[in-house]
Amino acid sequence: MGIKIVPRYGQTLKEKLYLPAIVGGMKVTFSHFFENLKDTSKIETLCYPEQLPKDITPRYRGVHRLTKREDDTVKCVACFMCATACPAECIFIEAIEREDGVDEKMPKKFSIDLLECVFCGACVEACPCDAIRMDTGIFSFVKKKREDFVVNIDTLLSHKPMKGSN
């Protein structure tokens, strides 16, 4: 690997004075300030949570959901592919024998720690059964305790896909 020599800035008198740089920065700040003051409708911010974003598309990676089979049972077979692919190691699965004859294996426990999750979508990519998706469009989750952010299998199964996703 080659070595790149980075020039050192900040050694001239003009740079050591700081003031010219501050004036330059303020120029940008005030130009935006007066522009927005003239016409408030152009401001690119939302009064969240009264105003909600309108640009959440079906491709947006929201909170996960576990999909179901046609007979309304869990599709996941607890193969641990998502947990293996997860870079944050935030998926906790416990597998048990599935007794209803649909398949051999199913998750007894399937929890995702949303505080640890980086929403990269690797679990969705890794799933061989299309059992986990992130198309719920849920972008905000507010809880009172850390433990509440670990969402369990029932919550994940109850999440619905957002409108427009297939």
Q: Does 129 bind another protein (CB under 8 A)?
A: yes
Residues 56-85 contacting another protein, CB under 8 A: 77-81, 84
Q: How many whole angstroms separate alpha carbon 91 and alpha carbon 142?
A: 19
Q: Does 105 bind another protein (CB under 8 A)?
A: yes
Q: Give the nearest distance from C-beta 54 to another protein in angstroms.
A: 38
Please list the residues that pair with 105 across neighbouring strands: 97
Region near another protein per CB under 8 A, out of 32-40, 51-59, 97-105, 153-161:
97-105
Q: How many whole angstroms separate alpha carbon 81 and alpha carbon 110?
A: 13
Collect all residues with Cβ–Cβ distance below 8 Å to 108 and sequence separation of at least 6.
78, 94, 95, 96
Contact criterion met (CB below 8 Å) for 123 and 91: yes
Q: How many whole angstroms separate alpha carbon 108 and alpha carbon 110?
A: 7
Q: Does 97 bind another protein (CB under 8 A)?
A: yes
The binder of another protein chosen from 35, 104, 125, 148 (CB under 8 A): 104
Q: Does 128 bind another protein (CB under 8 A)?
A: yes
Which of 17/96 has CB closer to another protein?
96
* SS3 category, 84: helix
- Which residues of this chain interact with another protein, rule CB under 8 A? 77-81, 84, 89, 92, 95-97, 103-105, 128-129
